[in-house]
Each structure stands twice: as C-alpha cells, then as structure tokens.
Structure 1
Amino acid sequence: MFSKSLCVLLAVGVVAAHPFLGADPNTLQCDPRGQVFLLLPHYTDCSKYFVCDHGREVEMPCPATTIFDFALQTCNHEWATTCQLRDRGDEIEGSGDDTEVQKAMTVNLLDCDRSESASRQLPYRGDCQRYWRCSGRTLEAVYCSDGLFFNPESRQCDFEANVKCDAVMADELAGEFIVYK
C-alpha cells in the first residue's frame, strides 16, 4: 500500500514540476484578461521568451549562457534543456520577401536542428539588407525593414551608419536562378 501511494505521489510531483511537458506552445496564446500566468517561447531566439501581460506578449531575455525552458517555464542551462521555438505562421518580419532555401546553400555555421545555432542570425553575403535565420527548423533569408541593414555584431537590423558591411562578395542565391540574355 505504501509503495503504491509513493508511486502516485512521485507521478503527481513530476507532472506538477513540468506543467507544460509535452505541450505544443503553438497552440497557446496569452489570456486577454490576464488571469493566466504564461511564458511562451520566442520565435527565433532560444535565449529569449515572452511574458503574457494582459493579452500582449512582452519579450524578455534569459540571463547569459541560458535558454528558455518551456516545460519548466523558466530559463535553464543549455545542457539541461532543449531549445523549443514557436512557429510564426503567416506573419512576416520586415518589409521584404522571405526566400526559403536549403540548408546546404549557406554557411555551415547555422544549423537549424541544433539549439546552439538555431537562435543565431548570420549576415547574407552580397546583400547588407538581408540575413539568415532559423524559423522552426527551416533556414530562411530575411530582409531588414526599409532603410535598415543587418549588423553582424549585434545580430539585428540597424541604421546603415552603425553597420560595417562588405557587399562585394558573391550572392549566395545566384546559382539558384536561370539568367536569360
């Protein structure tokens, strides 16, 4: 009898300790009335998350060397958790067209299947207004908003004066298109 009670208590403890274990964050959204406390994974960066504030998602950073742990609803060491990003759906960041490409077409430094590199953005060779990012497990080339350029140091779109970009390199997608003359 004692061992059955202990097993039930342990099972309840595991479920209570990991309230979102196995849950899909893409099916959850912030409560507009602010009645439910919820933290949601970021769309592109494992070291960030969203706090629900009366129906609005407020972006928050994790402390250095940690990533967001959705199951525990807190930031955790990379070795202790797995990066879980949300899908953006049809929402498109920036003002330009997004171009999906195969992983083999770009630098090997950005592997969307690995949590360490999935949260990174890398410069797009040959175009200072574009960069590479992971959306879920898909690598995509993204444009910055009009008038902004990708800053490889801060890994975000920035004013041209703050960016050191050498656009002389060959375009990474040039081999994908047929040029008719």
Structure 2
Amino acid sequence: MTYQVSVLLLSLLLLTGWACAEDFSECSNAEVDTFVMVIDDCASYIYCNGEDSFRDMCPEQTYFDAQAKECAFDDEGVCLRKATQAADVPVAAASAEGEGETESEDTLTEGIEGDNSAEEEAENVVTPAAPLPSTVPRPHCDPANDSFHPHPQRLICQLALMALALVMGSNGVTAVNICSGVADNLFLPQVNNCSAYNLCIGETAIPRVCPTSYYFDAAEQECLVAEEVKCLPTCPTRGLSSFDYSRTCNKYVLCFGGSSVIRQCSDGLQYNRNTDRCDYPQYVDCLSNLCTKYDDPEEIVYLASKAACDKYFVCLNGFPTVQTCSNGLQYNPKTNLCDFPSNVNCTVETLQRNILPYAKAPPRSADITCPAKGTHFIAHQKRSDAYYYCQDGRGVTLDCTPGLVYDSKTEDCREPQFVHA
C-alpha cells in the first residue's frame, strides 16, 4: 500500500508540474529560489524556482521592495503614488483627445504633482490592515481563483492537493483541514510559526506570511508589530495538555512531550478548553469561526446560541457579540428576531459534570506497545470511550467526553449514532 501511494504521489506531482507550470520572462536571468519584481505592478512579485515559479501579491498597504526582496510597508506612498500616476495619465490623455488637442508631458506631470491627496493619505498609513486574498492568478492550484475561473488543470491540481494531504497523514494521523467549517476570508494562524498565517477560501488554506518584524494576531486578524501580538502557545516539553486552534471552534492542538498535533472534532462537536477534549456544543457555545473582520451593514450576521434559547450573537468587528432576548422570548433563527417560544421550538439540555482536564491530572501510560516513530491514535483494547495517543514510541490513555465513543475511522470521539453509520 505504501509503495502504491508513493507511486501515485510521484505521478500526480510530475503531472501537475507539467500541467500547472507557468513561464515568467522575469525569471530568465534570475537566480533559482529567489524573488523578483513585477514591472507593471509594484505590489506584486514573482517567485522564480523553475516549474514551481509563481506570481503573487503583497499584503494590502505594502509593496515589493526589489532590493530587500520582501514586502515592505508603503509609509512613503511609493507604490500608491505610482498607481495614482498610472491611473491619471490615461484619463488626462483621453480628455485631451476629446478636446482635439494633446497635452504635453510637462502639463501632465504638473497635474499629477498638483494632486497631493494620494501622498497625504499614504503618509497617514502607520500599521497594516488585515491581509487580503491575492487577486493575481497563480499557476499552482489557487482555489481562490480556480473556484470562479475553472481551467483544464483544475482537476489535476485537486488531485495533487489530495496526494499531499495523504502524505501529511502518512505518519499515522489523519490530516486535518484547518479551514473546514470556517467562513471565507477568515485568517488562521500557523502552529509554531507566529509570522505565518493561512487565508481560508472555499474551505482551503492558502499560506501567507507577514512582513518582516510583524507577527500575525488571530484575534485581531492582522499582522501587527511583534510586541503587540499574542501568538499561539507552544507545547511544553513535558506533560499532556492542549490549547484551542484560534477562530475554528472545532479544532485544537494536542501536546505531549513537546510534540504538537492538530486535532478536529466531528459532527458539530466543539473543543472545550476547560476539559481538553471535544464536547457537546451547548457546553462550549463557540461561534468565532463564523465571524470575519469585514462587517457589511446590509448583510448583518446573526448567530443562534448553542447554549441558551434566549441568547444570540451578532458579528461585529470580527467577533460574536452576545445579545439576550427579553424575558419570555427566544431567538428565532428563521427571522433573526426574538419570538414567542411556540414559534421557535428550541430546547437546550445541560447537565452538571465533573471532567478533569488533561493538564490537571497525571498522564496515564498506554498499556500497549506504541509504534517507534510518528504520531498515532489507536482504539483502546477494552473501552469504547477511550483511546491511545502514541508519539514516537511513548503513549498515554485519553478519555472521551461522557456520552461519546472513539471512532477508529476518524480517529476522534463521536456520538455513538455516527460511529457505525
């Protein structure tokens, strides 16, 4: 099986390298594995690396600095001024044609220099806005563009991504799609790399990197100066613990002996930071995966609470803001209004529980022999509501939330009706 998978992966990658590759004249005299500027677009750059070359765009309010070979903040309006000049010249020329005469180059230059609004606006730019998805076509499997502009290579690119996902899970762990179940245009952090982040489009992660000296802040959905950013935690070198994977609600990072692995809850379950495991949504009530930074007054996002019938949320500045109905009324998701209970049919059941988180209890050693290498999740030999977590030969026993059982196919705890479905 491993041999077949390797042959399939090699074939797909060779095929995609032939089908998805694109030639850039800017790379003809450039060194391999380097960045070069785009002549007609100061905010874009080209990565030159043979068949893996691609064109992309710097984050908003930055431009590509050809000397430093990085995206730099446009505090002096270098790129913005060029864009304004480029946009103004054709308009002025067209106006001159309409009057039957041609203005001299000096006249156009004076007109441009007389308009300082772009320069004044650029001088006020201090910090970068939230990163935006690139609008420049990329030659390699860009779901942001492929979804709307299909091309013959799309299927091949999808197969390559599937093959890469298979490799990611080849160490014994099913690969997790970090962008599944989150809103489009939401930015997610990368584990163990605070300067990198992912843009989610169509439940597909597109890697991005902050400019030099800036880190990505998942809460603010921005690249900020390092001193102001709260990065994802790092796993402690000893013990068993976990922390939530920001802005996803159903994903978390499980830590054991300094190693980290991203885990995902199934079937609408959510990660409960108080118990270190997947739990029923009424005990968590997380909705931050559905609120993006961009508010639209004409399309206000209302979200029903998972924990209380009379509570709901409104997305505001990227965060779900809690609201409560008047006494005796319940939130109706069909009308986005507080309504009489007879029109809502809402029931939420919660029980008093005492679940000790992993971090507050000594790890229980697995009573099996774990594989010597890699990360593995294995069903418990005697209990359906427990499983083994093995990391490079060492293993611990983990419990499911009461009411859930372990599913070997998805390698997580689920409600019993979904396990044998």
User: TM-score under structure 1 normalisation?
Assistant: 0.34
Q: Which has the higher contact order (CA 8 A, sep 6+)?
A: 1
Structure of larger gyration radius: 2
More helix by share: 2
User: TM-score under structure 2 normalisation?
Assistant: 0.17
